[in-house]
């Protein structure tokens, strides 16, 4: 990464491009929500049965949607903490966006086949890889370009804790898919709550 530090990149352009990708992915995710076929829409029981049929698709969409929203939130927070960007930041960010763009595929598979372990595992592995890349992005910026208004020791501690958050829990959920997909779903559903707010705050003035 020392080589990449010689090449600086405009931080604003990186943020703008990333924001556009996040917005597009969140839009693509919602396209997986299809109107179910209802033979007798005047029959409430028939309507409720049809809606239950698409519950897995709605669940996978909702978790993925809020996951992407939280990744965007923390991406913004990390960029706010950084003084500038270099080509190392660019390439780590590129791999992060690679996995973000991949998310609609495993989301659609898991929604369509909610009881098939390999598709649930694929979803968990993709989310684990995405959060790992976000953690690497966090680490690189905190180590090299952290603003003086943040306590570096505290921030690096939070970086280490982040590795035990998303990457590890989603990986665990992927593994548990072969034992019980319902355990995986619980892990997938609760993990985003760990990321509701950023971990770091600026020092008091």
Q: d(Cα 55, Cα 201) in Å, to the nearest integer?
A: 38
Q: What burial letters (b/e) apply to 136-168, b meaning 16+ CB within 10 Å? A: bbbbbbbebbbeeebeeeebeeebeebeebbbe
pLDDT at 33 over 80: no
Proportion of the chain in helix, strand, coil states, percent, rounded to 5? 75, 5, 25
Tens of pLDDT, residue by residue over 106-165, are 988 888 888 899 999 999 999 999 999 999 999 999 999 898 888 888 888 888 888 888
Say yes or no to pLDDT of 46 above 60: yes
pLDDT of 29:
86
Higher-pLDDT residue of 64, 48: 64
188: pLDDT strictly greater than 70: yes
What pLDDT is recorded for position 36? 66
Q: Which helix (H) or strand (E) element contains residue 53? A: helix 44-53
Q: How many residues does the chain have?
A: 205
Instruction: Report the pLDDT value the prediction gives residue 116, as an integer from 0 to 100.
Output: 92
Average pLDDT over residues 52-74: 85
Rg (CA), the chain: 19
Determine the pLDDT at residue 6: 59
Average pLDDT taken over every residue of the chain: 85
Q: How confident is the model at residue 31 (pLDDT cuts 50, 70, 90)?
A: confident
* Residue 192 confidence class, pLDDT cut points 50, 70, 90: confident
Whole-number Å distance between alpha carbons of 121 and 176: 8
Residue 205 reports pLDDT greater than 60: no
pLDDT in the model for residue 197: 77
Which pair of structure tokens corresponds to residue 152? Answer: 């570096």
Rounded to an integer, the average pLDDT of 187-194 is: 85
Asked whether the beta carbons of 33 and 56 are under 8 A apart, the reply is no
- Output the CA–CA distances (angstroms, integers) from residue 7 to 16, 98, 111, 171, in the order listed: 19, 22, 42, 34
Tell me the three state secondary structure of residue 9: strand
Q: Bigger pLDDT: 33 or 122?
A: 122
């Amino acid at each position: 990464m020392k080589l990449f530090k010689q090449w600086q990149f405009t931080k604003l352009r990186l943020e703008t491009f990333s924001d556009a990708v996040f917005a597009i992915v969140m839009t693509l995710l919602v396209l997986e929500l299809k109107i179910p076929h209802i033979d007798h829409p005047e029959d409430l029981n028939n309507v409720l049965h049809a809606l239950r049929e698409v519950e897995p698709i709605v669940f996978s969409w909702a978790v993925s949607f809020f996951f992407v929203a939280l990744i965007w939130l923390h991406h913004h927070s990390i960029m706010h903490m950084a003084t500038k960007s270099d080509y190392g930041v660019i390439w780590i960010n590129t791999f992060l966006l690679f996995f973000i763009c991949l998310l609609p595929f495993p989301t659609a598979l898991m929604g369509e086949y909610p009881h098939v372990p390999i598709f649930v595992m694929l979803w968990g592995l993709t989310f684990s890889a995405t959060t790992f890349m976000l953690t690497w992005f966090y680490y690189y910026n905190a180590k090299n370009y952290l603003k003086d208004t943040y306590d570096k020791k505290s921030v690096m501690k939070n970086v280490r804790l982040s590795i035990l958050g998303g990457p590890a829990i989603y990986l665990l959920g992927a593994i548990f898919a072969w034992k019980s997909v319902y355990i995986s779903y619980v892990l997938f559903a609760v993990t985003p709550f760990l990321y509701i707010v950023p971990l770091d705050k600026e020092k008091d003035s």
